[in-house]
Amino acid sequence: MTRITVAKGDGIGPEIMDATLDIILAAGAQLELDEIQVGEQVYLAGNSAGIAKESWEVIRRNKVFLKAPITTPQGGGYKSLNVTTRKFLGLYANVRPCLSLHPYVKTKHPHMDLVIVRENEEDLYAGIEHQQTDEVVQCLKLISRPGCEKIIRYAFEYARQYERKKVTCFTKDNIMKQTDGLFHQVFDEIAAEYPDIENEHWIIDIGAAKMADTPELFDVIVMPNLYGDVLSDVAAQIAGSVGLAGSANLGEECAMFEAIHGSAPRRAGQNLANPSGLLQGAVMMLIHIGQTDVAEKVQNAWLKTIEDGIHTYDLYKEGISTQKVGTKEFAQAVIANLGQKPSTLKAVNLANGTPLNLPKYQRKPPARKELVGVDVFVHWNGTNPDELARLLKPLESEKTTLSMITNRGIKVWPDGFSETFCTDHWRCRFKPAKGNTLGKLDLIFLLVKAVENNIDTIKTENLYDFNGKPAFSLGQGQ
């Protein structure tokens, strides 16, 4: 018996949750349910997070959370419950299988069967943003080694558990050599530990184009947060319908399972909604808690029901469907099919599933880290970089010299192009003067001189070599 937390959510949420629970309990799921309230009512009662403190305690105690979609009220100030839950509970992996159900669900990709494994906690979604000058705002893209190792190992372990053949990595490391470069490097390191699973890396742009064109070439795809956010919706859509996909959000301690669609308020309370997305989430939950025999039984009965042409309004098509049913009747049809397998669609076999083997992250010994310069970011309204270089001259010392100025990453001094468009945000790189090394105090002296000379510094970034290798980007054109 596993005790789980359940939230019925808003809009169509309660109907699809009831249908889902009816099906999995009829299939023999051994569950005790603790129901909590989340969503619209909680938001409107003045809780800007959409969830009460006591509910967090239930979620943390049970560790497994099955959640129906919620409605985020219009207007500012309401925090996304999904984002908050992922971050608070450390749900680092978002897993979304996208399977074509051709010919029962219309799709241009009849043989598509892929799984997107999306990093869920970091990247640009750390939400660290600042306005720095009149014209420039920034968002920090943070990629960590533990973040990469955890998600990439998860992807390979998932592939092994589900007998998938290949793991593909998408990044843009030709441009983002440090951040996406780390993700790619860790992918190569971990792939080497799984010689039984094929691996490949694609630059995200051409990889995404290929996935949209010939998704059947892919199996498991792992990627950083932002790319995964976009491409998991593309993949679900081209598989046939976002209404059919479920997703799992997994952490070291806790896990949350849901449908990928929203609360469809216009369809609420009419016994119309398709419960398949949430049911797919629930099947992943059953696998997660080790009830793989029940998961297999539910999945095969669901595939058989789709194949029988018993469809809710969103899937119903003359000539393909045999019966248009409501939410409840669909659930009853799946229950009636428990124990049966589809004949055209591929039946699933989960009984031999091995549990995921996810070792805890082991921190590596620290690298040799050497300060080799500093980028001082300056707010300056001028347009001629030579003039800025002159203004910065008094900041130089016997220890530091100005080596480069860039504007939005493009080198504009020395030897810039007059055609380069410049904003009011300048990166001024100082390096040690010949024969010198730098200490932290030298950076502080540099900033003191900047203040004395009315230079508006907005931030600094230290430049480091790690184990003797430069670990910062050059200026474009440098």
Q: What does the angle CA 156 – CA 157 – CA 160 come to, to the nearest 5 degrees?
A: 90
Tell me phi and psi for residue 325, to 5 degrees.
-125, 165
Which of 266/360 has CB closer to ligand NAD? 266
* Rounded CA separation 306/300 (Å): 10
The residue within the footprint of ligand NAD, chosen from 120, 274, 300, 321 (CB under 6 A), is 274
- Chain residue at closest Cβ approach to ligand NAD: 262
Which pair of structure tokens corresponds to residue 290?
């080790």
Binding mask 420-459 for ligand NAD (x = CB under 6 A): ----------------------------------------
Q: How far apart are CA 363 and CA 104, in angstroms?
A: 48
Q: Does 292 bind ligand NAD (CB under 6 A)?
A: no
Position 258 contacts ligand NAD (CB under 6 A): yes
Q: Is the peptide bond before 195 cis (omega within 30 degrees of 0)?
A: no
Residue nearer to ligand NAD on the CB measure, 243 or 373 = 243
Residue 146, Cβ density class (10 Å: 0-12 exposed, 13-18 middle, ≥19 buried): middle
Which of 388, 475, 91, 359 is closest to 247 using CA atoms? 91
CA dihedral 53, 54, 57, 58 (to 10 degrees): -130
Span near ligand NAD by CB under 6 A; candidates 232-240, 263-271, 332-340, 393-401: 263-271
Cα distance between residue 105 and residue 240, in whole Å? 6
- State the Cα–Cα distance between residues 438 and 372, nearest whole angstrom: 6
Q: CA 61 to CA 54: how far, in whole Å?
A: 11
Phi/psi at 55 (5° precision): -70, -35
How far is the C-alpha of 179 from the C-alpha of 184, rounded, in Å?
9
Binding pattern for the stretch 211-250 against ligand NAD, x by CB under 6 A and - elsewhere: --------------------------------x-------
| Residue showing tokens 């051709």 | 102
In this chain, which of 50, 207, 228, 277 binds ligand NAD, going by CB under 6 A? 277
Which residues ranging from 65 to 84 are in contact with ligand NAD (CB under 6 A)? 69-72, 82
The yes or no reply on residue 311 touching ligand NAD (CB under 6 A) is no
Query: What three-state secondary structure class fits 284?
Result: helix
Residue whose CB is less far from ligand NAD, 13 or 373: 13
Closest approach, Cβ 265 to ligand NAD, in A, equals 6
| Shortest Cβ 69–ligand NAD spacing (Å) | 4
**Residue with Cβ nearer ligand NAD (80 or 453):** 80
| Binding-site member from 14, 28, 262, 326 for ligand NAD (CB under 6 A) | 262
CB nearer ligand NAD, residue 313 or residue 464: 313
Footprint of ligand NAD on 30-69 (CB under 6 A): 69
Shortest Cβ distance from residue 350 to ligand NAD (Å)? 24
Query: What residues make contact with ligand NAD under the rule CB under 6 A?
Result: 12, 16, 69-72, 82, 243, 258, 261-267, 273-274, 277, 314
